Amino acid sequence: MKRSYTHPITAVFLAALLLLAACSKMDAYKEKYVKDGEKTYTGRIDSISMFSGRNRIKFIAQLNADPRITQYKVYWGGRADSVTVAVTHAQAGGMIERVIDNIPESEQTFEFVTFDADGNKSISSFMNATSYGSRYQESLINRRIINSVLNSDLQTGVSLVGMDKATGVINTEIRYLSTSGDSMACHVPLATIDTFLVDHKYGSEVIFRSWYLPDSSCIDTFYTPFDKYQPVSGAAWIDLSTQLVKNAGSPFQRSSWDNGRWGILADWTTSTDVKNAGSNTYGGYEYRGGAGVLSMEGGWGLPAVNNGKIYQVVHLPYAGKWRFSVPVYDLGNAGTKYIAVNFGNTLPDYANVTTSTYYYNFSTMASGGTARIEFEVTEAKDVCIGFVANMPGNSSTGSYFKVRNVSLAFLKE
């Protein structure tokens, strides 16, 4: 068999030619696909949180620990706008935070890129955020005040219309004048319908506006323009019975009773001769029609009530006009009955009832009517309110009166 033979020099030459061809192909690949040579990337921005705002946005992010980073850029509007922020070595790996102003009203995509001193950059990071502006502002509706009252503490109360939380409204600001003329403000949360304007100057106008957050991430609060509202004004009688009168009725409460019909009124002073029932132990309270009433009665088996008095002392906290009112539930024809208001701590006896500071004879009033005394005090003071009566014990036509409640009101002007 004949063997072929390749000279060693020839083999080396062929290998060199093959290596040269391979290098030429690699250089052609680099020239075609990596025109600028091998890429160097800086560390990218990570963990980005975005916050909306009024023609602005805010971001908080994690800066890469890459020590080569010298600056970063934030692009928006399809890279039409950007900001450039220099970075120090001390910031590497730390949190960065910035507010970007002058963002057009819309939802925008923001691109974050880091750079080194040679212009090498990172892979981009993208996040979206919304900028709110005049279009959103003009869409806001003020939460309306729909009613006002004066409460038993003589404070102005207002009621607001309900609104959906989805609108973004968070509270309503109400500004008003105090009784001393100072400017005051209160804030009514969305969940609250009724509120009181503490120390509001009665009858003065208020202004109000609503606060909005368009979304939970927004760094800016939006406000509606102020509207005006006129709360309750003018003269009004304010019932202060529950604050000032103990055991004002509807129903009346008892301190003791005979477990049947008659008892003793709680918190009222009852004269001895009114206690003419149950072996002269009970009187002044009657369980009638399933409820307790204030009662005075003589005859029909009960002794006469010659000097009947039921009263209590109340403290009037305000100077001005007051009204003591008694709706009379039931009334007999016989006897003489008065309501009275006396400056002091008791009422005069029946023989001297007309010496009371104020008195009113309701003996001939029809059942269901209201006996009433209007009076005035020049300063806060104690007064005695109640009933003085004479009830004969031999009447066949009824010597009695029954009261379900009493009222004490102040005239707010």
The model's confidence at residue 300, banded by pLDDT at 50, 70 and 90, is confident
pLDDT over 90 for what percent of the chain? 84
Instruction: Determine the pLDDT at residue 35.
Output: 52
pLDDT band at 395 (very low <50, low <70, confident <90, very high): low
pLDDT at residue 37, as a whole number: 56
CATH number listed for the domain at residues 242-412? 2.60.120.260
Is the pLDDT at 307 greater than 60? The verdict is yes
Higher pLDDT, 152 or 9: 152
pLDDT at residue 90 is higher than 90: no
Q: Cα(first)–Cα(last) distance of the chain, in Å?
A: 138
pLDDT mean over 122-126? 97
Examine domains 46-131 and 242-412 and report if their fold is the same: no
pLDDT confidence of 9, banded at 50, 70, 90? Answer: very low
pLDDT confidence band for 301 (50 / 70 / 90) = confident
**pLDDT recorded at residue 13:** 45
Mean pLDDT of 19-33: 48
| CA–CA gap between residue 3 and residue 251 (Å, rounded) | 134
Tens-digit pLDDT profile for residues 29-78: 445 444 555 688 999 999 999 999 999 999 999 999 999 999 999 999 99
pLDDT at 238 over 60: yes
Give the strand pairing for 46-51 and 56-62.
Answer: antiparallel
Tell me: domain 46-131, CATH 2.60.40.10, correct? Answer: yes
CATH 2.40.30.10 is the classification of domain 140-233: no
Higher pLDDT, 90 or 2: 90
Band the pLDDT of 224: cuts 50, 70, 90: very high
* pLDDT confidence of residue 40: 87
pLDDT exceeds 60 at position 359? yes
Identify the pLDDT of residue 153. Answer: 85
Q: What's the pLDDT at 27?
A: 52
Average pLDDT over residues 144-167: 94
Would the pTM of this model clear 0.85, i.e. be above it?
no
Give the model confidence (pLDDT) of 248-285 as tens digits. Answer: 999 999 999 999 999 999 999 999 999 999 889 999 99
Does position 123 have pLDDT exceeding 60, yes or no?
Answer: yes
CA distance 28 to 43: 30
What is the reported pLDDT for 3? 46
Q: What is the pLDDT of residues 179-190, one digit of tens each?
A: 999 999 999 999
Domain ranges in the chain are 46-131, 140-233, 242-412
| Between residues 320 and 22, the one the model is more confident about | 320
